[in-house]
Structure 1
Amino acid sequence: MRCGYPQPVDNGIVWPRGEGTYGQQANYSCDRGYTLTGEGTINCTHTGQWSHPAPICTVTRCGRPQPVDNGIVWPRGEGTYGQQANYSCDRGYTLTGEGTVYCTHTGHWSHPAPNCTAAGHCGEPPTLENGIHTGDDYNFGKWVHYRCNEGYELIGSSRILCMNEGWTRLNTRCRITLCDPPQPVDNGTVRPRGEGTYGQQANYSCDRGYTLTGEGTVYCTHTGHWSHPAPICTVTRCGRPQPVDNGIVWPRGEGTYGQQANYSCDRGYTLTGEGTVYCTHTGHWSHPAPNCTAAGHCGEPPTLENGIHTGDDYNFGKWVHYRCNEGYELIGSSRILCMNEGWTRLNTRCRITLCDPPQPVDNGTVRPRGEGTYGQQANYSCDRGYTLTGEGTVYCTHTGHWSHPAPICTVTRCGRPQPVDNGIVWPRGEGTYGQQANYSCDRGYTLTGEGTVYCTHTGHWSHPAPNCTAGHCGEPPTLENGIHTGDDYTFGKWVHYDCNEGYELIGSSRILCMNEGWTRLTCQCRITLCDPPQPVDNGIVRPRGEGTYGQQADYSCDRGYTLTGEGTVNCTHTGHWSHPAPNCTESIVEQSGRQTNPTAGHYAIIGGAIALVALGALVIALCVGVHVCRNRGSYPVGTGSKDGEERSICEDGSVTPPPETYISPLLTTK
């Protein structure tokens, strides 16, 4: 089947250009600066048409060139491949960079936008794509020289000058070195055929029946020449055909590709084998030389690839029949006849048996999907969640049919979910892939395990059935500064709470074990508070505010007063202070003459003071000068004391009188 010539394409090429035969492909490519839209490779189909219409080569576009501050660019619109845009600076500004940019085949401008800088020092000279500049003096009147990298040639001036307005225009570019199209070769082809660019390679190949001599791959060098001359395709030679006994071959000389040589037998001899042989592209004749045997017997009949022949009488007028091996079908005549010249021509071949594409399957796939050949297998598989029923692998048989019908993919089923004691599951019926079943427990029972299970693609539920166990709430919550009593933590049982000593319970004192767990613990242990400690006349207490459990308060008396009772009290767990408030009583010191043995129940005038003697030695003295013994030190006795006079001594709460002074025992009593 032939398809005609593939359609040409503007601004591009198609190869090969000739008529196509079934299965042959043609490849399109666009010229530099053009982009291919459509199918780049088309195939000659069995209908005699190419598989796709010719593509289109559209010119490459670059978008608008970038604007420049203190300057302009013209033209401002979108550019197409090869188009240039020119930059210029306003008066007093110098252009730094490329003043002319080109729309390249990549769809980008050849250079970034230049800069317009204030005149004076020209700054960094513009870069040259694929080139370099020499010189580092960028001041007025200085030249910078450019040269191109290897493989590129300089087009335009090789230097620019620093002027007052900046660098003169860089009218230079480095064009990639081009090589002329590679030389064609007789009886062969070269790809690609057009001009080459530096580094590009071209590949030579010879037509069938020709042999390449020389370099098959050449490269475009920086000199603009290909690395090697074109090779030569010389016709393949086969040498002389083998001679035959009792016969001749013509022509007898060396053969070249495609040439034929004909064998014939002398009279009375019959040719066995191929009478015509061809010089092939491998340099060998297509068949060995035949034999010339005495007439009347044709000899062994020709073999049939993938087939056999029946019959063992190879004499004149006898038929030999052919049949194909299993899995192959015979195309052409099934027999040959022994003639005087030998066997008639075997116009028969064995073609492998074909099976139509395997039947598709719902909710599954089959691989491969196309036609099958004898012995080939096709494999079915089901989508996830579906189970294959039937044969998963089928074979193309010698009958041209698959060994089994297509299987079926049925949704996977999981059976009924397991029941649970003291609970229910819903739904109760069989499940299908992806379906869920939900478990719940009766009142007073707690679910342990997964409450929701899913039917998986394996046909099993995702988890085993859970358990419903009698409600057990576990360890009850702790109460800060408190404890709980009771060790039965099952459904319907109470746990009671008490606070530690020094704390009082606020809120409910118990919680209940329910199906969902313990009821909320709403109580707390608040530290016990004591009212502010009682004040004391003629003294102070610190601190004065409310007290908390364990806190202490300290009493002290004013100057001239003595503390009677506990000076430190503590706040107890009952909310009361550990002792009542003490008293602060007035301290008295008397001055007297030496009085050694006053009599009980009598007053005595001692040094101008009145003393009452009572209960033996207990004396309360009213002195003219009174001082309370509080701190260690010495105190004057009388109101008229002067420096040098005798003083009382205070130590550890007791007063030691000076000579002639009497101290009542009451003052040292605590």
Structure 2
Amino acid sequence: MLATSPVRYKGILRRLHNKMTSALAFLIICQVAFYTTVSSKRVCGRPPITDGIDASALKRVYEVGEEVTLSCDRGYLPSTATPGRIACTDTGEWTQSNLACSPKTCPISRPLQPLAMGKTEVPFKSVLNYTCDDGYIIQGANEARCLHDGTWSNPPPLCKAVNCPLPKPPTDGRVVHDKPFTGTVSYGQSWTYECNPPKAPTYERGSCMANRSTTEPPVCREVSCPIPAGIPNGFITFAVMRQHGYKEKVKYACNEHYVLEGEAQIQCQNTGNWSAQPVCRAPCTVGIKRGRIFYNAKKLWIEDLKPNRVIHGEPVVFYCLNKAESCGYPVASTCNDGALPIPECFEEPGRLEYNLRHTTLPSEIAMCAASPPATPTNHTE
């Protein structure tokens, strides 16, 4: 057996070491290359979605090239008939989708539209809350939700008036209902309390209230009103000057050419006072010396208005001049209890102009196509 020399043995070890170093370096390079290749491969995260898109089947991570078909969730309508298909690109981003989902709507019934500020429909998932006014009880659900199919979860409820027990009549009196009833009275129903003459109730009206109770009956007592007073420019007709009992009446009238304003008859009330007296409104005088007016369907020179009197509430038309257009235009004024305002635009002509050149007055020339803006009137005292 040949012995290997130390020098040869060292050479073998050196070559073996060099080969092992090269193999190890190659292995390291391969691992680095493999790691770089794997780590540089991109992926896509969960696709970006807008409101209404169904996200129940979407994954968190997708490989390059994977595709996803987007669809609208229940209760939403797609903006396009074609499927919303997107793909994961090698940049780690998704392709664009043209899919948009809009919520379905539920119609609002016409009686509720004023309360909904004029809206005729509301989107999916909207909620309507119903309440009844005081004195009414809700019958049905107090809430309705807009469902995915465009219908409401509950129909509108009904509001039924609460019932009250029958009112008790006053002692020495009775109850007179405004309208027929059966067994009970409903919220809002009213009645009148009456007493046996000559007595009067301390109050005359009662009703069924929101808390399901009725007005307590009044007390019947004797009432009288003082001798009725006269009114300016008027008189009492066919009345004896004495105290009057409850509900007795007195009638008024006005002097000639005066207009009665208010109720002609007054009545003795349960308080011992008379109801409001009427007023006699005075006639007016047209306060111009020269000019032409339109009154009582006639165009008149002021001197032809005989007598110079306008009844309260009646209009008188004066004629003004539009200097820019050289045309006339009418302005109305109304008699108000003895006062007839003269329009500020009216200019009373001088004596010479009125007598010799009356054809040039605003009332006689061509009328303007349109009247200028209204101006204040001069109020007579």
- TM bucket, shorter chain: 0.3 to 0.5
* Richer in helix (by share): 2
Larger Rg: 1
Greater RCO (CA < 8 Å, at least 6 residues apart): 2
Given the two structures, how large is their TM-score scaled by the length of structure 1?
0.23
Return the structure number with greater strand share: 1
